[in-house]
Structure 1
Amino acid sequence: MTTSGKLVYLEAPERLSIKEFPLPTPETGAVLTEVERANVCGSELHIWQGYHPQVKEGVLGHEALCRVAELGDGVETDYAGQPIAEGDLIAPVYYLTCQRCAACQRGQFNLCENAYEYWSKPPEEPPHFHGTFASHYYIHPEQYFYKVPDGLPPNVAAGANCALSQVLFGIDEVGVSQGDTVVVQGAGGLGLNSVAVANERGAETIVIEGVDGRLDRAAAFGADHLIDFREYDTVEARVERVHELTDGEGADVGIEVAGVPSAFAEGVQLVRNGGQYLEMGNLNPGHTTEFDPGRFTRSGVTIHAVVRYHPWYLRKALSFLDDHVDDYPYDDLIDAHYDLVDVEEALHASEDRTVTRATLLPDHSH
């Protein structure tokens, strides 16, 4: 029986090490899991590069699929009341929703002031397995998790607890409905999920991207129009093209998931007067771009800035995947697999955008 596990520790920006620790026994209300696979999310890149405002060191990883290894006393169901047992596949919400802080008291659970209480901590601190770039992951009491629907492929389910949950929550915040036009800036994991969700709401979708593989995937996910920013190589050209595709008005909704500051200033111009703009990609303070507040005021555009999601959106994400797994090429969304020990190679390939979404596969045999 395995008594120890491995994890990836970020000692300082772009300095990683693999460490081994004894497996903890889950406390009452907690769950010890084996990590089946952990994806490399854009946020992980920012943390690794040293750009995250709060997380500068600790155990990496958050977007993952886990298998229950041991249940703490009192854990009989997931957070939707589904019976849970050892060996079940589950998806955990990677942050805490404390339900006690000022934000939680206002019902803004995605802004919980204690969200990162258990995330990306130093590995020496028990229970050690604070992130999902590891062989095991510890789910604390009051940390939401949901059972994965039977028959949902593991490589598809692994993307639910960050990318798709984030997109579903953000799109609900701005509201996308039948007949809307939605322009999506960026066709990484968040962008492709945005296209799928907007499609299912009955919207017409426009994707702006400049990497061949990503443009191809956007088309495969059902984007109605593609704008290659190597061809439309100025803001003015892209704005003009979006207006051409929307009867001269601009899109009803814009979604920024490129994570580039200049995309924000551009995005507000892609949206019609009185439209909605969803900002999700730029997560790290300190990176600025020129912005014309007068133009923004006159446009009457409403900007929604969204970080994280209400934890029950993970259940919605798993249901969405279960309903639509055959409608979109989710199987192809993960286009590179790496052993856990090759994490640096996975991060570099993700940084270079030579892969859309990399996944790490831990070895549980040691």
Structure 2
Amino acid sequence: MDTQTLPLTASVQAWTGGSHFQNLAVNLPALAPGEALAAVDLATVCGSDIHTISGRRPGPHPGILGHEAVGRILSLGDGGARDFHGRELQPGDRVIWSVTVSCGQCARCRAGVTAKCVELLKTGHEPLDGPWGLSGGYASHIHLRRGITMVSVPDLVTDAAAAPVACATATVMAVMEAAGPLARKRVLVSGAGMLGIVACAVATHRGASAVHVRDINTERLALAREFGATDATAPGNDPSGFSVDIAVDLSGAAQAVESAFEALDIAGRMVLAGSVSPGPAVALDPERMVRSLLTVTGVHNYEPRHLQEAMDFVKETRDIYHWDALVEEPRPLSELQFLMQPPSGRSLRKSVTPLQEQRGEHHDHP
């Protein structure tokens, strides 16, 4: 699209603190070399944004939240921009983008830990009056800075399937990489939210001999079975002698972490990814770790390769798992404040789109 046809401003829902949002018009930025401007077609509501407005995690405000989104390239800076595979992007291309923006030069980036770049910026986590104001998905447009990873969306992958890839699915890819080979392994997944459901599908797809899921929500346990779980029950119902080779905690609950650790067999491995908010300390017996050759590791965010792996996985399994069914029908962007509550039942993601507003469509509040 010719830049002369672009609007001058983006329509955004700016978080102003607490549970409050304000509709604002934000000037579109001038693009630097290697940058892009995209129109947001769909954004899903990640649980971390709900935690932010409820005070469970800090966040600058006013700011534009939203880090799970899919959109179309509208304009490119000098020299253009490329996707993960190095393909030069063109106006009209559908893309998703990473949660993190890294410098690529610091010691952490050079060591392959770009998610902890010393100059890290995060999609949907930046102040509106900062150097990257138009950074969130709850807006009609987003400024894709140099250093962000962009992944092309195949035509066969819908917006509803693509948007959660940018956070939930990509994070699971990082978690499962940390877990190691899964073929013929017994896997325990604690927490059957969006990440847990994806983890079930990945573990099954990679040849796990059994995938055990623990959650207190019976509807989500049923959903886990549809996405590959061989055993899905409430915590505390494990039989005597229950043991696994891999334990993945995506719940962040201290009791779940302790139970998962106790279930590890000889040479077992536990990956923690759900503990992203302050909580009580967990006691892990170091003697048992030594004598049983156990490994405990943590994963936070993901690397660029995981975003591409996640998109490839969703495309490859689109006829096996109903990814679209995990996302509710989109609501207008103006209704965002009414969607900032934990999903219930089989719904794992609420979603918004600015397109309905542009077309003059309106819906009653949920």
TM-score after normalising by structure 1: 0.88
Looking at structure 1, the residues matched to 152 and 146 of structure 2 have their Cα atoms a distance apart, in angstroms, of 16
Aligned length, in residue pairs? 350
C-alpha separation between the residues in 1 aligned to 2:77 and 2:156?
Answer: 26
* CA distance in structure 2 between the aligned counterparts of 1:30 and 1:280, rounded to whole angstroms: 31
Instruction: Identify the residue that residue 360 of structure 1 maps to in structure 2.
Output: 352
Give 1:331 deviation, angstroms.
1.8
Q: Report what 2:102 is aligned to.
A: 97
Name segments (4+ residues, structure 1) moved above 6 Å: none
1:349 is displaced (CA, Å) by 4.3
Could you give the per-residue CA deviations for residues 207-248 of structure 1, whole angstroms, max 9, x where no partner exists? 11122331221111121111124xxxxxxx34x33x5xxxx3
Using the TM superposition, give the Cα deviation of residue 127 of structure 1 relative to its aligned residue in structure 2, in angstroms: 5.3
Describe the shift of the 1:228–1:249 C-alpha distance in structure 2 as closer, same or farther (beyond 3 A).
closer
Moved more, 139-148 or 289-298: 289-298
* Aligned equivalent of 1:220, options 207, 223, 226: 226
Q: Does structure 1 residue 68 correspond to structure 2 residue 77? A: no
Mapped to 2, the partners of 1:222 and 1:117 lie a distance apart of 32
Kept in 2: contact 1:268–1:296 (CA 8 A) = no
Which has the higher mean CA deviation after the structures are superposed, 205-214 or 333-342?
A: 333-342
Flag structure 1 segments of 5+ consecutive residues without an equivalent: 230-236
1:180 aligned residue: 185
* Cα gap change, 1:56 to 1:272, in 2 (>3 Å): farther
Moved more, 90-99 or 70-79: 70-79
Q: Name the amino acid aligned to 2:229.
A: A
* TM-score under structure 2 length normalisation: 0.88
Q: Match for 2:133 among 120, 128, 132?
A: 128
1:316-327 pair list within 5 angstroms: 316-327=309-320
Contact 2:189 2:214 in 1 (8 A): yes
Is the CA contact 1:182–1:198 (under 8 Å) kept in the aligned structure 2? yes
Secondary structure in 1 matching 2:245: strand
Deviation digits for residues 35-61 of structure 1 (CA, Å, limit 9, x no counterpart): 1111111221222222225x3432101
Q: Secondary structure at the match of 1:94?
A: strand
User: Which of these residues, 15, 19, 31, is aligned with residue 26 of structure 1?
Assistant: 31
Sort the Cα spacing of 1:256 and 1:318 in 2 relative to 1 into closer, same or farther, 3 A: same
Report whether the alignment pairs 1:154 with 2:159: yes
Q: 1:196 to 1:118 in 2, by over 3 A?
A: closer
| Partner SS for 1:198 | helix
Matching of residues 1-366 of structure 1 within 5 Å: 2-52=7-57, 55-57=59-61, 58-116=63-121, 119-125=124-130, 128-203=133-208, 204-229=210-235, 237-238=236-237, 240-241=238-239, 248=241, 250-284=243-277, 286-294=278-286, 296-297=288-289, 299-350=292-343, 355-363=347-355, 365=358
Q: Which 10-residue stretch deviates more, 297-306 or 217-226?
A: 297-306
User: 1:34, 1:136 within 8 Å by CA — same for their partners in 2?
Assistant: yes
Distance across 1 between alignment mates of 2:124 and 2:65: 9
Q: Secondary structure at the match of 2:174?
A: helix
Cα separation, 1, equivalents of 2:32 and 2:154: 26
Question: In 2, are the aligned partners of 1:268 and 1:301 still within 8 Å (CA)?
Answer: no
RMSD: 2.2
Structure 2 distance, partners of 1:90, 1:106, is 27
Distance 1:76 1:304 in 2: 35
Q: Does the CA-based 8 Å contact 2:220-2:345 persist in structure 1?
A: no
State the Cα deviation string for residues 279-328 of structure 1 (Å, max 9, x = none): 011112x3214424357535442111000111121111111111111111
Q: Determine the C-alpha separation between the residues in 1 that align with 2:116 and 2:253.
A: 22
Task: Give the gaps of 5 or more residues in structure 2.
Answer: 360-366
